[in-house]
Amino acid sequence: MTKLSVNINKVATLRNARGGNVPDVVKVALDCEAFGADGITVHPRPDERHIRKSDVLNLRPLLRTEFNIEGYPSADFIDLVLKVKPHQVTLVPDTPAQLTSNAGWDTKLNFDFLNEVLDAFNNAGIRTSVFVSPDGEMIEYAAKAGADRVELYTEPYAIAYLKNKELAVAPFVEAAKVARRLGLGVNAGHDLSLVNLNYLYKNIPWLDEVSIGHSLISDALYLGLEHTIQEYKNCLR
């Protein structure tokens, strides 16, 4: 069964906009678990504009499902992950000022760097995932660098889905087949929603995990958090 990991960055964004601790990021994460989420994802950035280092440290001892920390592997990020030891770390090629992830790694160009970072995390017993576009060569070099999984960057799928869903999903199916052939697990994330998630799942039923934040939290404003999580889980059945 494909797991649903809820990215709670947007909850932290709302909290930070006003100061204080409303909404309580830790409580929301625990509620997500109670409502059926299979994991929690956070993406701390250097400016702490949403998730803070303290959030990561506070969450780790309390979560009962899988904890996934994603981010650019700067020295500070690496130190934080090695200290916290989440179940999974997802490496993304974001610059510090980047609004959101909008491209996968060039794993061939960055092979030596990724290999060194992945070795550090693998040696610490942390499952590793590398954020990639649906490109067979990039997936092959992620495997060579030592990744356990790849996370397919699905914004192009979400955009193209509205025009032609068959053409939209085709490169992702092929990429997922390459990953499976190489022995890699397959995650997916970015702009997945109640509109397009089930079709992706039906075409790649061996997906290990989807990580969803913006759409899920936005839907929760109308449907409520518990109902929303159940609706997303229903898309993975």
Q: Which residues are catalytic, by number?
A: 43, 70, 190
How would you classify residue 149: left for phi > 0, otherwise alpha for psi between -120 and 50, otherwise beta?
Answer: beta
How would you classify residue 40: left for phi > 0, otherwise alpha for psi between -120 and 50, otherwise beta?
Answer: beta
Query: Does a cis peptide bond (omega within 30 degrees of 0) precede residue 23?
Result: yes
Other Cβ atoms closer than 10 A to 129: 28
Report how far Cα 46 is from the mean position of its chain's Cα atoms: 18
Q: At what angle do helices 165-181 and 136-145 cross, to 10 degrees?
A: 30
C-alpha to C-alpha distance for 215 and 232, rounded to whole angstroms: 10
C-alpha to C-alpha distance for 143 and 150, rounded to whole angstroms: 8
